[in-house]
Structure 1
């Protein structure tokens, strides 16, 4: 393992220090494709077999959007992965439909992840603050495998520059009594409002589980937190929160979501019907199931089934390609939904 890491490090160093030699060794060519305006790009698509009903409108759409980004919505209509020619009968409008479907899908899923983020902040505070009887528990080194100093510095930076009334009120009246560089950070129920879901994820992944033990036979306090969100233990919840963070970032940054390859959330498949198999475990279907489990465990309506039915009805091109999202053809028959 050590030798493998050393070889990998050596390759990275060679690539960084001698980029032209590395490129020559790999047979890479200098990029020399000329700039093409939107109308030329539409004409190229037509030459490759794509039906474009209204070339000026298509060119105007490409002018307003990043063509490279739009190309991913054309891929399902290619004759094979990596090919340039399109399946006979493929239309520009079908790819545009997938693009619009993805836009609506991202807005919906972003709302789900935002709800989970709020629930996670609240329940984490409730579980650990009550358990520890310490509103500043998150500042104690004993609760972490690696103390999250940089994350707390970022929270402090946000607090000190915040114009929110709650932040100014605390800073002008209190301190924690903890001492050290984080002495002026507030209780966790306040600081949690300043943390991004990525920072929240970092805290959870760095918890030292042993510092949250309960007297047997009561489960560990972190496992109880996990069960608040439908996960069996904190290990599963840590993974789920990581995946929620990733999904949230893809949605917020307008990245392709609908047929993206995703990690399979652990311990989710057991909740789905064994007789209705997902077309792929590494697509959105399993991640939506994870979000549903988390929200249902918190007593929050998710509307996933009704929204997806509506979107598939509104966008037939997406419905025809739902297997690329991992959806089984008969997914609605699964009692899980």
Structure 2
């Protein structure tokens, strides 16, 4: 299909938005944001303020809506900007906590596997046979072989002095407690998924999670969250593709508030998981309180389209358990 949308100057972009009903109080400031942030990135934040019309119904008779070009009455350009800035700070605060969690998991995994063998990560016997042999990717390569290739590439790419020093002194193979420092969150998550159940359960219980399958899904979802933050993507109300599992009712009290299909697919549950794990890693941290203060500053729009933390999947009364 031929792409028929012409290039537009920043002034033309702003004119198009005002033509569609977006109010602009400070034209110079709006142009500055278009020049600095970009129309396409900002469009993700004014999208919720567009008029939606029902165009049909699905097989369950639920309405199918489509976004129109017009904006809801009283929507201002600054509404999108404030939402963008809120989301930006949210990602930055989460990145701080995810770093702590990732570093702690490196230690957890290296300590557990290293006790068995300094080079345990290189041996198939270390891992759960059915998970390690599971075919993955388009070429259907065994998970263990695929993971080995990826981990080796990260190790070879590392420019860290400690890696160079180790290789000069001991040779090319890195023990797990050295290799782990060259891996990213996704590599850690995939390694954890291949580990034997006793090893997974041992680490999961450290974080108060009794079911290793639940904890495995948490790490997979946190890797997804980390990638969203690292690529500066919209987070606040996105549909979570890699959804985490929930523990059994009553096992982790705060999780019970998310036993709803819609909340399960929203990012607030991931925020709750980050909070839970950060408090295990850093029991005296004030990170969760700082994040709560930020969440409570969710911008109130001028638009007649009301948005709130509920659009993120926040359950009623979340403040009660958040600071426990």
Q: Secondary structure at the match of 1:79?
A: strand
1:291 & 1:324 partners in 2: Cα distance?
19
Q: Secondary structure at the match of 2:68?
A: coil
Alpha-carbon displacement from aligned partner over 1:90-110 (angstroms, at most 9, x marks no partner): 111011000011110110011
What are the ranges of 5 or more consecutive residues in structure 2 without an aligned counterpart?
Answer: 53-65, 134-142
1:61–1:127: structure 2 CA closer, same or farther, 3 Å change rule? Answer: same
Among 49, 69, 76, the residue aligned to 1:91:
76
Q: How does 1:58-207 map to 2 (within 5 A)?
A: 58-80=30-52, 81-130=66-115, 132=116, 134-144=117-127, 145-146=132-133, 148-160=144-156, 162-175=158-171, 184-207=172-195
Among 243, 260, 282, the residue aligned to 2:221:
243
Q: How does 1:184-333 map to 2 (within 5 A)?
A: 184-209=172-197, 220-262=198-240, 263-267=242-246, 270-272=252-254, 280-300=263-283, 301=285, 303-313=287-297, 315-317=299-301, 320-333=307-320
Choose 1 or 2 for highest CA Rg.
1
Aligned Cα RMSD in Å? 2.7
2:322 & 2:181 partners in 1: Cα distance?
36
Q: How does 1:9-88 map to 2 (within 5 A)?
A: 30-80=2-52, 81-88=66-73
How far the C-alpha of 1:272 sits from its partner, in A, is: 1.7
1:69–1:163: structure 2 CA closer, same or farther, 3 Å change rule? Answer: closer
Whether the aligned pair in 1 keeps the contact of 2:87 and 2:234 (CA below 8 Å) is: yes
Whether the aligned pair in 2 keeps the contact of 1:283 and 1:326 (CA below 8 Å) is: yes
**TM-score between the two structures when normalised by the length of structure 1:** 0.77
2:83 & 2:152 partners in 1: Cα distance?
42
Greater strand percent: which structure? 2
How far the C-alpha of 1:235 sits from its partner, in A, is: 1.5
1:236 & 1:138 partners in 2: Cα distance?
23
2:319 & 2:153 partners in 1: Cα distance?
47
Whether the aligned pair in 2 keeps the contact of 1:127 and 1:221 (CA below 8 Å) is: yes
Alpha-carbon displacement from aligned partner over 1:30-55 (angstroms, at most 9, x marks no partner): 32111111111111111111111022
How far the C-alpha of 1:296 sits from its partner, in A, is: 2.3
